[in-house]
Structure 1
Amino acid sequence: MKIFISSLNVPIGYTTPDFPSIYWPLGEHRPEFSQSMLYYGRDVWRFTIQWYIILFCGVYSVTGLYMFVNYCVANYHSKTPSKYFVFRGVLIFVSYAFTSTMMAVISGSVVGLLTSAIYKAGSMTMSTWIPFTWAVLGVMYDICTSYSTSSVTL
């Protein structure tokens, strides 16, 4: 007999899973399945923020590093190189890192609180895959809207 698990009846002895707690979601009769669920809104918010920070900072760091190298190489090979071109390149990278962290915290907070409220209203538990999936969608949306023609379309 299968029992419906809701967020209102938290299992006895439940502890919040460690981050990332990504498990293979098939096989709901294994113990990892019930132990890797999120029941509390604070945990949903925390998992979402952490995934957003990891993915946003990763994508923006790669982009910032590319811009740093591109700026330094272009300035190094110019006829009148500036003596502060490395400092300006580092400033570009730091601005990318700072922007990605702020975007991740703000976006992750909004998405985490909204998904937490939706799951709580439906009296459902959340898999640890859901915050990861939302973070991937956030990064993909950010990449898609970075192109000038697609941002007008979206």
Structure 2
Amino acid sequence: MSTSFRLPYGYRNAPAWPSLYWPFGPDFDPLNLVADIPHSLYYLQDIWRFTVIWSLLFSLAVYLPAGKKAERVFDAVCTHQPVVTGIWAFIMLARSRTLKWYVLVMIPFIFVLGGSIASFVIGSIMGVALAFVYNSGFFVMSTWIPFLWALIHILVVLVGSYSTITAIL
């Protein structure tokens, strides 16, 4: 994607993965932000990799608690009933539609697997699109850009999870 004539002098390869830095220290100079070679991304595969990794991490942080919540909701039918009706409800559900314990344990992993696959696909699309836009405009990409786009992606997923929001839109 990038060509060698566009790379700055002294650029060897992409920084190590997280490479999030805080440039606003006591010796802050806005002109140095343009030439921040150690914390910049130039190649398509580096931009894609940073975006996909951040998307996967944010999806794990959202889908694992959602899966645990779903597991508790399915399990609550049997355990959180009043004493008088709880035994009757437990017997009826045990006969008909109670999920086995191993199915309940699988629910968080199914949520995480589905969320990870979706985040990998969306992170890949975002990463390639970001690389095309930044490289076509000869812009320098900070390592914060993939982080912020992955955060935007997971916030859109969270907003879309509320049924009233999607019904209004």
Q: What band does the TM-score fall into relative to the shorter chain?
A: 0.7 to 0.9
* Structure 1 contact 16–38 (Cα < 8 Å) conserved: yes
Give the aligned CA root-mean-square deviation in angstroms.
2.2
Letter in 2 for 1:63: A
After superposition, where does 1:33-72 map in structure 2 within 5 Å? 33-72=36-75
Q: Which residue of 1 aligns with 2:84?
A: none
User: In the TM superposition, what is the alpha-carbon distance from 1:14 to its structure 2 partner?
Assistant: 2.4
Letter in 2 for 1:79: F
Letter in 2 for 1:71: F
Q: Which 10-residue stretch deviates more, 83-92 or 43-52?
A: 83-92
- Structure 1 unaligned segments of length 5 or more: list them: 1-6
Report which of the two structures shows the higher radius of gyration computed on alpha carbons: 2
Give the TM-score, by structure 1 length: 0.84
Distance in 2, Cα, partners of 1:33 & 1:75 = 58
Q: How many equivalent pairs are there?
A: 147
CA offset digits 1:102-153 (Å, max 9, x no partner): 0111000000000000001101110000000001100000010111221244
User: In the TM superposition, what is the alpha-carbon distance from 1:50 to its structure 2 partner?
Assistant: 0.2
User: In the TM superposition, what is the alpha-carbon distance from 1:84 to its structure 2 partner?
Assistant: 4.7
Distance in 2, Cα, partners of 1:86 & 1:69 = 12
Q: Which residue of 1 aligns with 2:90?
A: 79
Distance in 1, Cα, partners of 2:36 & 2:101 = 50
Counting aligned pairs with the same residue, the percent is 27
Letter in 1 for 2:90: K
- Structure 2 unaligned segments of length 5 or more: list them: 81-88
Q: Which residue of 1 aligns with 2:9?
A: 11
